[in-house]
Amino acid sequence: MAADGTIVVFGSINLDLVARVERLPAPGETVAGSDFSMHPGGKGANQALAACRAGHPVQMVGAVGNDANADVATALLRKDGVFMDSVISKTATPTGVALILVDETRGENQIAVIPGANGEVRVLGAESLGRAGAILMQLEIPLEAVEAALESARAEGVRSFLNLAPWRDAAASFAGKADVVIVNETEFAGLAAALGHGDDEASDETALRALASLLGGTLVVTLGAAGARASDGKDLWFASAPVIAPIDTVGAGDTFCGYLAAARSEGMEWPQALDLACRAGALACLKAGAQ
Ligand code: ADP
């Protein structure tokens, strides 16, 4: 049961297997790699860790396999003090894995995600929600589980944050059940198209306000180096990101989401919360790895 005011993060936990290669292989081809590393990942776990590092109590709800990868995937969550008693580890399926090839000259990558145990997550029981202050979700677990959790949160009066990542068309049908929807520019385009606003651009304030009003909640759009904007359909807020020389932008969006949920849960107003999340997202670009 989540303690008073805790942020419940209901989402994916993965092990990222990263190989640096001289170039990405063509089908059937073998190329030489120069480096291999394993990092904890998964959007749910990344965001849980960010909210926890923002200083807020966090309960992770998700699933890992009964295997050695589970220990590596959850190592930082445990080390940083995220509550893990609602993470199921008895699934017959293995821990989720992301296979990532990075082209070391061009910086491009190829990624295959095997959801494994993340695909087994079905229900977020009322006992997990308990007296939570907020719930934060992404789209790396089954969508019916996300939608059901949004409905439970609304019924229990728990504020919900939904990051529409990675973008899946089917999520547009229930995004309006979230109190706060967070998208990057690509996801904004997907959401706008799915809601019949295909020509809208993330940088257009009128489009943001219109889409927020259609959803009925607050819509937050992250704009990379340009910062982030949000609207509740009426008001508009903006925060710029600090100017940095990025090293690895993987996980910037996840860090933003975790800090934003924590800042709002601490009672921060939108402009201050956006500013904090933007600064955290920028700092995440200065270190390699998602966590
Ligand atoms: P995603 O990682 O989901 O694609 P963004 O690229 O929009 O999301 O980044 C999320 C946040 O991280 C931005 O709102 C910003 O605060 C920060 N950020 C990302 N890239 C940069 C950058 N090049 N310079 C400064 N901040 C950045």
Pocket test for ligand 1, best of 220, 247, 278 (most atoms within 8 A of CB): 278
The residue ranking higher by pLDDT, 28 or 289, is: 28
Q: Is 58 exposed, middle or buried (0-12, 13-18, 19+ CB in 10 A)?
A: buried
Specify the pLDDT at position 239: 98
**Which tens digits make up the pLDDT trace of 112-122?**
999 999 999 88
Cα(122) to ligand 1 centroid in Å equals 31
Residue 226 · residue 241 · CB < 8 Å: yes
The per-residue pLDDT of the chain, averaged, comes to: 93
3-class DSSP state of 58: strand
* Calpha distance 150→144 (Å, rounded): 10
Instruction: Tokens for 214, please give them.
Output: 């259609």
Q: What is the pLDDT of residue 126?
A: 62
Q: Is 225 in the pocket of ligand 1 (CB under 6 A)?
A: yes
Lowest-confidence range among 89-93, 152-156, 168-172?
Answer: 89-93
Which of 220, 222, 247, when mutated, tests ligand 1's pocket best, judged by the most ligand atoms within 8 Å of its CB? 222
Q: Alpha carbon of 161 to those of 34, 63, 157: distances in Å? A: 39, 20, 13
Question: What span, in angstroms and rounded, lies between the C-alpha atoms of 205 and 200?
Answer: 10
* Residue 236 confidence (pLDDT): 97
Q: Write the pLDDT tens digit of every residue in 30-50.
A: 999 999 999 999 999 999 999
Question: What mean pLDDT comes out for the span 117-131?
Answer: 81
Mean pLDDT of 141-158: 94
Query: What's the burial of 55, exposed, middle or buried (CB within 10 Å: 0-12/13-18/19+)?
Result: exposed
Q: What average pLDDT does this structure show over 180-195? A: 96
* Closest ligand 1 atom, residue 246 Cα: 23
Asked if residue 2 has pLDDT above 80, the reply is no
Read off the pTM: 0.95
Q: Specify burial of residue 25 (Cβ count, 10 A radius: 0-12, 13-18, 19+).
A: middle
Ligand 1 midpoint to CA 131 (Å): 32
Residue of 164, 229, 256 best suited for mutating to test ligand 1, as the one with most atoms within 8 Å of CB: 256
* 199 among known catalytic residues: no
Q: Is the CB of 256 inside a 6 Å radius of any atom of ligand 1?
A: yes
Query: Cβ distance 259 to 280 under 8 Å?
Result: yes
Q: Is 246 in the pocket of ligand 1 (CB under 6 A)?
A: yes
For the CA of 250, the nearest atom of ligand 1: 2
Give Cα 249 distance to the centre of its chain.
Answer: 14
**226 close to ligand 1 (CB < 6 Angstrom):** no
